[in-house]
Amino acid sequence: MTDQNSFGVTRRGLLGVFAATAVIAAPTYSNAFGLLKGSGDIRRIRMYSGRTGESIDTIYWIEGEYIPEVMKEINHFMRDWRSDDTVGMDMRTVDIMAASHRLMDVTEPYMLLSGYRSPKTNAMLRSRSGGVAKNSLHMKGQAADLRLKSRTVGQMAKAAAACASGGVGKYSRSNFVHMDCGPVRSWGG
């Protein structure tokens, strides 16, 4: 019997994952983002896009390392679907999304409404809505607009804010939450 399977996962790595799962099973808001900083744990993201019909459910970080191939998949998934342009997403935003998802204790994937936006797409959306920032962090790959059927905007925003790692916007009338890795701030209702 070998200590490594065809995916390159060691027995020690699997034991670390199981140990991390026990710690993560009952997180508190006070240590939300700290859950993602310890070695030996895993980071997983689950999303789908109603615009493209695509979905992603993947572990993107294990034992202190981001997985480059998976990060490329996430970048493609979070692309500007209108122009098909991609950018290297800031993984701090993905970490905030993953930590928030864990805090809410849901299995439902996020619905991604907007990840990366090209400047052209951002300008078009800005011309249609006063809620789109001229220098949006979406254009830098540092923001995402997300929805969950099983959680309210308030619950999602509270989980994201508990991470104290970026901006959190509540858009209750449109039923989504904006999460970004910019300065810590909150807005909306």
| Burial class of 188 by CB neighbour count within 10 A (0 to 12, 13 to 18, 19+) | middle
Inter-CA distances, 33 with 20, 94, 168, Å: 14, 12, 14
- Per-residue pLDDT band at 6 (split at 50, 70, 90): very low
- Per-residue pLDDT band at 56 (split at 50, 70, 90): very high
pLDDT tens, position by position, 107-161:
999 999 999 999 999 999 888 887 788 889 999 999 999 999 999 999 999 999 9
pLDDT, mean over the chain: 84
Q: What are phi and psi of 173, to 5 degrees?
A: -65, -30
Inter-CA distances, 83 with 49, 78, 87, 91, Å: 15, 12, 12, 22
Class of domain 11-188: alpha beta
Nearest-5° Cα angle at 160, 27 to 80: 130
Angstrom distance (rounded) from CA 184 to CA 182: 6
Contact by Cβ (8 Å): 156, 104: yes
pLDDT tens, position by position, 160-182:
999 999 999 999 999 999 999 99
Model confidence at 15: pLDDT above 80? no
Contact by Cβ (8 Å): 103, 29: yes
Residue-level pLDDT at 85? 96
Angstrom distance (rounded) from CA 26 to CA 105: 9
Residue-level pLDDT at 34? 52
